[in-house]
Structure 1
Amino acid sequence: MNKPIRKAAVIGSGIMGSGIAAVLANAGIPCLLLDRVPTELTEAEAAKGYTLEHPSVRNRLAVSAIKGMAKSKPAPLYDNDFAERITPGNLEDHLSQIKEVDWVIEVVVENLGVKKELLAKVEQYWSPGMIVSTNTSGISVNAMAEERSPEFRKHFLGTHFFNPPRYMKLLEIIPGETTDAGLVADLSGFCERTLGKTVVLAKDTPNFIANRIGTYGLLVTLSEMIRKGYTVEEVDAVTGPAMGRPKSATFRTLDLVGLDTFLHVADNVFSNVSNESEKSVFEAPEVLKQMVAQGRLGEKSGQGFYKKVKGPEGSQILALDLQSMEYRPQGKAASGSLEAAKLAKGAKAKTAALLAGGDRYSDLAWSILKQVLIYAAEKRGEIADTVREIDEAMKWGFNWELGPFETWDAIGLVKSVSRMEAEGMTVPAWVKDWIAEGNTSFYKKEDGKLFHVSDGRYKQVEQPPEVISLRDLKAQNRVVKGNSGASLIDLGDGVACLEFHSPNNAIGGDILAMISQSVEEVRSNFNGLVIANQGKNFCVGANLMLLLMEAQDEEWDEVDDIIRLFQNTMYRLKRFEKPVVAAPHRMTLGGGVEACMPADQVIAAAETYYGLVEVGVGLIPAGGGCKELALRASQQAGLPEADLQPYINRIFETVGTAKVSTSGHDAKKLGYLRPSDRVVLNPDHTIYEAKQAVLRMASSGYEPIAETKLRVVGTEGKAVLRLGALGMRESGYISDHDLLIANKLAHVLAGGDVPPGSWVTEQHMLDLEREAFLSLCGEPKTRQRMQHMLTKGKPLRN
């Protein structure tokens, strides 16, 4: 950037303001967090004898917001220690400090007058080059800055983060009429690379892109429901995963957002558009007004379209009956179309199956969808320049799997437009012109490249070099080898990528075979290897079903062969003479972690939930996980006379309680990742960064990891670990079977029955892992746990 962003200030410490400050802190950007000065003392402050002039009182709002980050769910920080990067203050005493920052983000109440007044104060301390932005969900950016100086307006724009800011990837950037174009490009790049956001450029129109389309969709859904007599739960059954939308669907989403907040957002469009037809859609329905007046605001008030009640048999979620306005038990929505959508794979197939069902739920889906698609087409050019920006905004802002124009392609553009017109709908002229020219979709792919309609022609979607799509590379015939579980893909520049694509990316014989084949191929024809994929999760572990079947049949030689194969494959990968970098993301569990451990470096996405969780199914890690952690402990302890026990105790607790990291940074704190491993905030960039790491190692004269011995705590250390586990059993924290597993784990981590301080080989540790794993497979309670996980998807405590 012309002026790098090294420090920022956020004004407003509410939920959004503190969340944005956390995003900056997560990215390593020091941040001021300022808020107004309180006008009243709390009881605690009065008891301490404070006055309104005391610094603790004057900074209370920002200080409380920062303290609350550690307790917030979902957590806004990747690591609670990052809160130290945020400095609290107040607008009266500390606003002058913004002179020292590169970016000021205003996040105060959604009121034009309040925002204009604050910006006037900000300009008093504005320095040349400083970026100032407003986090507004729909107020005009130009109206806010109309009284500011020309130079200030060149550096002013909208930056609409979505809530919660850490987890919602969308960032709408809204340039003003005079915002410097270079600044917009620079800030967009910074937010994508450093903050990990997906940026779309929106126009300065009411509610911008995502909230404009999303609010419209929610309102027409409610209108169709009332008009045709559907229930709350029927609507949510249709407008959730069956249409490629989140499980929260329509009414759970409204409850989460808050009905009062939603009415405010809808009213912003109603008050600021002139088209009477559009205005009528955004006029607040009476039922919503009534619910808000009654205090039924959604989750924050305990009741909205749903209400959670406690009964003698546990909690129950009731649904609102719009006829009686009373809560009642939820009904079950079932039909052929819903079942067909459930069985279909992927959002495209699900939506097509739902619409093809020919029942009342298909009718509801079509009635909603046709209106939303036409509205999105009408707004192209008004709220955003391209169909791509609208689609991206809806996918990342509302968690739709397909944007409106991608959905239109999925259900058949030509066929659906014909149906719309036959039903009396007015389809925008540009859509009909596009079809008249012989086009049958808004998007197309050629040679692995994506094109979208723009200005009456197909235009290639330009991706930055940091974004590598394995799907596109496969479409370009870049697959070198492959089987049912994995593929080896040529990333270019002499680097290959091993991609898992088995069900849930679970590691079985097919993936292990492909790892071995990949090693041979890379040895002959490449400079190094990346292990990565772009599935929903990186890897949920080993193929548990296969293990359970062999254990139930008491085929112990087969189980032994499976574990040996896993261990030998990982060991071979670790000793490979060319660099290997793993790039995990999201759920990376059990065998998925063990597949990353042999790598020379791990480049993890920030949202990586990483852990050895085998004890949850009655087992211990046996693909080298225990061995690798024990080896790291030995190396961390250092000198032979140093006390190794505390390091092993920590590993024992982490693995024995199946701890999973809450982020890539937390994985480092837990010891799963090494200090040399890296965390990347934008998950779309991890493969690129992993590739660059391979190239750096290859060009600097890479040497493979030499075989080494590790020091272990032996029998005395094992006794310490087992004593701790026994204490937990006697205190009622764990069961007898948990104690058995813990004792097996202690035996392995301690290095077995050897004298304290013994030096053992890695193979010795692998043998201990395998023996413990086999013995636990023979336990009926372990097999019960495995069965329960496979059928219920959660651990069994027996």
Structure 2
Amino acid sequence: MVKPIEKAAVIGSGVMGAAIAAHLAGAGISCLLLDIVPEHLTENEKKAGLTLEHPQFRNRLASSAIERLTKTNPPPLYSEAFASRITPGNLDDDLGKLADSDWIIEVVVERLDVKKSLFARIEKVWKAGTIVTSNTSGISIRAMVEERGADFKRHFLGTHFFNPPRYMKLLEVIPGETTDPAIVSYMTEFCEKRLGKGVVRAKDTPNFIANCIGTYGLLVTLREMLEKGFTVEEIDAVTGPALGRPKSATLRTLDLVGLDTFVHVARNVYDLVDGEAEKNVFEVPEVLKSMVNQGWTGEKSGQGFYKKVRTQKGKEIQALNLQSLEYAPARKITSASLEAAKSAKGAAAKIKALLSAQDKYSELAWNVLKPVLLYSADKLGEIADSIVEIDRAMKWGFNWDLGPFELWDAIGLQRSAERMEKEGDTVADWVKEWIASGHTHFYEQREEATFYYLKNAYTELKTRPEHISLQTLKRQNKVVLGNSGASLIDIGDGVACLEFHSPNNAIGADILTMIQKSTDEVRRNFRGLVIANEGKHFCVGANVMLLLMEAQDGEWDEVDGIIRLFQNSMMTLKRLEKPVVAAPHSMTLGGGVEACLPADRVIFSPETYYGLVEVGVGLIPAGGGCKEMALRTSRIAAGNPDIDLQPIINQYFETIGMAKVSTSGFDTKRIGYMGPHDSVVLSGDHRIYAAKQAVLAMDREGYVLPEEERIRVVGDTGKAVLQVASYSMQLGGYISEHDRLIAGKLAHVLAGGDVPAGTLVSEQYMLDLEREAFLSLCGEPKTQQRMQHMLTHGKPLRN
């Protein structure tokens, strides 16, 4: 039996160590953070009267790291409150406390001698059964503990988190030669379920999987740039979304990672790989060494391949000329191949379009892509046992849309392999054998499952029961109802899932119609309903374009009809006699929030950015958002009419009026959007499963639809309080006249209109107030300007 992990210790409080501790704290794991004792007192410590023996001095490095966690942006912590789960200490005074930990993680400097010395110290206080791991990005797992005892080695392995741990899905688990297989299995499952990671098993080779292939690809690209004379802007134009990669592409990514860090990683591989040809690839170009020597290490130093400068017109992005080493304003790069890729839908189509065109950028794309595919094929069996591990590592660790073997499938396996050989390249024997046996893909989608290449045969790609894939279910003909905007999918055990799939998952008439039809279907044939999808974002709100067009045309009956349909659809969800659970993720804004509020429970993804943001386009929530906040406020006074509701409604007024958005699923509690039965599941892959289980649990308990509630409002006197606050904001220059107009409408609705304080009103009454306020604001020219600006520029207009 492997000892369950509830307490952890992280050794090393640098950027990575502190961030790992923060992620563990977010998962509810108490964490001891240790570092060395500083050598000298600071001037401030001397002034405070501290001595070399004072714990505040001795724990300074770890304490300072914890303090920085609450100030770093983007935040490493899901909630600032979670910092209290991390306890600072030092290696001299607190080494013995490691015996109380279930998991010890080493995150010190990437030097083998330092790590070996540390593990020798750890073993002296180590309690049998405690798992010990290293976060090394490439040092040999075997070499670090070769002098340790057999039992220690059985409990030792690598756990390579990608930076930043909160946001990067990949975690490479690297067993040592003698690591207990039961511990490897336990850590894989623990890190997936408890930490929400995408785990791949790597072999104990230089830089493991993702950094091995990623570093190779980056160096190939740099070499192509230098040999062919491409500019910084050209390289990133080709190796970004057009090639199925992030917008940061190649050189912007290096700036973000840190050129010094990249050089260190590349040198690590160079020192450890065999063969002159491979060593030559991992030789760092002289221009990169020169940039690092000058301190041009990227984002952290203020300049690398790019730098931001202030001009009279504002900030300007400049790109480095690698010949002159001077900066000039970054140029926009266009070509037929890039435009073709931009117009194509989906990563596979974009890459095919880019490679199919006949221009220098198409050639560049092929010349940087081809070596990566060949290298990945050569490394199969050496760095990982399956193509799946390699593909997942690159998607989760480098944010590629497609892994190398998925990408090879997309561009045509047989045709591209023939081209490679025609151009004088060597294709791995196993790839040629696979093609010769009649196969045209590494992956094969079948109705029942996905199959992949493994040892010259197709093997079914197994997934955990907790991973419900809507795409797979749709291939299995599990769609019950559907239209252009949404589908109702049978996800098993009598539970249906309502999936949005309109552009950006914006809510329009198609989704609202499907909500109405879905509730009827669930009422007749299912135990309950999950609202979830697998889009990039859960829902960015209502279809603003449609509203603006109707408003500009003066079609007020149409606008009124849209809002009524939205409100009625949300109330239909709320009054469904079966349990409803929403499972939002990523951007969940405006109408997206209002689609979740009627649910009995909300299961948040940790990265859920959740907020009623309608004021950003000059409007207020009108799909029940204001009504639900007033209802939540009223519930606090249930059975005790003497409770003062004003401070609570003031808070909601500020939250909605300032368009506050949560910084995580956990943060929804701080800003008042998390209900008493809502929760967060750390694994995004398990989100729909968790929502389904919540539906089934409520059904087993004998779900009874809650009775309709009357809402106690703060009324005219409460409205006056809110209006005074907005007037003061305008006088102080914090908001414009139009902002104050919007705030006045919001105050009117949240307060319950011009009724006496304490009046009990119906939900429909509140919805009518929302709709009236929304319609009146739609008629305001400045609101229409804000809507147009958001559609055109993607950001709010202050007018």
- TM-score normalised by the shorter chain: which range applies? over 0.9
Q: Which residue of 2 aligns with 1:750?
A: 751
Q: Deviations over 1:304-338 (max 9, x none)?
A: 11122222222212111111111122222111000
Structure 1 gaps of 5+ residues are none
Supply the distance in 2 between the matched residues of 1:347 and 1:84 (Cα, whole angstroms).
Answer: 42
The corresponding residue for 1:739 is 740
SS in 1 for 2:554: coil
Query: C-alpha distance in 1, partners of 2:644/2:434?
Result: 73
Q: Which residue of 1 aligns with 2:490?
A: 490
After superposition, what is the alpha-carbon deviation per residue over 1:516-560, rounded to whole angstroms, capped at 9, x for unaligned? 111111111111110100000000001111111111111111111
Is 2:719 the counterpart of 1:718? yes
Amino acid at match of 2:791: L
Deviates more, 1:617-626 or 1:314-323: 314-323
Q: Structure 2 matches for 1:688-707, cutoff 5 A?
A: 688-707=689-708
For 2:486 and 2:383, the matched residues in 1 are separated by 42
Which runs of no fewer than 5 residues in structure 2 stay unpaired?
Answer: none
**CA apart distance, 1:636:** 1.9
- What TM-score does the superposition give when structure 1 sets the normalisation length? 0.99
Deviation at 1:448, TM superposition (A): 4.1
Give 1:197's aligned residue.
197
CA distance in 2, matches of 1:43, 1:726: 47
Partner of 1:462 in structure 2? 462
Q: Is 1:6 aligned to residue 6 of structure 2?
A: yes
What secondary structure does 2:666 align onto?
Answer: helix
Alignment of 1:765-780 (within 5 A): 765-780=766-781
Q: How many residues are matched?
A: 798
Distance 1:328 1:632 in 2: 55
Mapping of 1:39-438 within 5 angstroms? 39-438=39-438
Determine the structure 1 residue equivalent to 2:601: 601
> 1:210-254, CA deviations, whole angstroms, 9 ceiling, x for partnerless residues?
000000000000111111111111000000011010111111111
Read off the aligned partner of 1:782 and give its amino acid letter: T
Distance 1:79 1:260 in 2: 31
In 2, the alpha carbon distance for the partners of 1:285 and 1:387 equals: 30
Amino acid aligned to 2:745: K
Whole-Å separation in 1 of the counterparts to 2:262 and 2:739: 48
What whole-Å deviation, never above 9, does each CA across 1:156-183 have from its counterpart, x for those lacking one?
0000001111000100000000000010
Q: Distance in 2 between matches of 1:310 and 1:668?
A: 38
Q: Distance in 2 between matches of 1:411 and 1:376?
A: 16
Query: What letter corresponds to residue 581 of structure 1 in structure 2?
Result: V
| Counterpart for residue 19 of structure 1 | 19
- Counterparts of 1:306 and 1:582 in 2: how far apart (Å)? 42
- CA offsets 1:94-145 (integer angstroms, 9 cap, x no match): 1100111100000000000000000011111111110000000000000001
Counterpart of 1:40 in structure 2: which amino acid? H
Kindly state the Cα deviation for residue 675 of structure 1 after the two structures are TM-superposed.
2.1
Letter in 2 for 1:44: N
Q: In structure 2, the residue corresponding to 1:610 is in which secondary structure?
A: strand
Which runs of structure 2 are paired with 1:441-590 in the superposition (5 Å)? 441-590=441-590
The equivalent of 2:791 in structure 1 is 790
Secondary structure at 2:674 match in 1? coil
CA distance in 2 between counterparts of 1:744 and 1:550 reads 21
Give the Cα separation in 1 of the matches to 2:188 and 2:73. 28
Distance 1:340 1:746 in 2: 49
Deviations 1:627-653 (A, max 9, x none): 001000011234111101011000000
SS in 2 for 1:670: coil
TM-aligned CA deviation for residue 41 of structure 1 = 1.3
Aligned-pair CA distance for 1:438: 0.3
CA distance in 1, matches of 2:448, 2:768: 46
Report what 1:623 is aligned to.
623
Name the CA distance, whole Å, in 2 between partners of 1:566 and 1:311: 46
2:29 corresponds to which residue?
29
Cα distance per residue 1:401-460 (max 9 Å; x no partner): 000001100000000000000000000100000000000011011114111100110111
| Bigger shift: residues 143-152 or 559-568 | 559-568
State the AA in 2 paired with 1:134.
S
Contact 1:448 1:474 survives alignment (8 Å): no
Give the match's secondary structure for 1:173.
Answer: strand
CA distance, structure 2, for counterparts of residue 598 and residue 333 of structure 1: 47
Distance 2:563 2:764 in 1: 13
1:478 touches 1:490 (CA, 8 Å); kept in 2? yes
| Distance (Å, rounded) in 2 between the aligned partners of 1:239 and 1:474 | 32
Give the 4+ runs in structure 1 shifted more than 2 A.
none
Output the CA distance in 2 between the equivalents of 1:129 and 1:716.
64
Q: Distance in 2 between matches of 1:311 and 1:617?
A: 29
SS at match of 2:383: coil
C-alpha distance in 2 between matches for 1:765 and 1:268: 64
Tell me the distance in 1 between the aligned counterparts of 2:246 and 2:463.
26
- Tell me how far apart the structure 1 counterparts of residues 96 and 676 of structure 2 sit (CA, whole Å): 38
Amino acid at match of 2:664: S
Q: Which residue of 2 aligns with 1:729?
A: 730
The CA distance in 1 between the partners of 2:87 and 2:48, in whole Å, is 24
Identity across the alignment (%)? 69
2-side partners of 1:448 and 1:289: how far apart? 51
Q: Which amino acid aligns with 1:125?
A: V
Distance (Å, rounded) in 2 between the aligned partners of 1:598 and 1:293: 58
In structure 2, C-alpha distance between the alignment counterparts of 1:267 and 1:16, rounded to whole Å = 20
* Letter of the 1:197 counterpart: K
Q: Deviations over 1:275-330 (max 9, x none)?
A: 11101100111111111122211112211111222222222121111111111222
Distance in 1 (alpha carbons) for counterparts of 2:37 and 2:503: 55
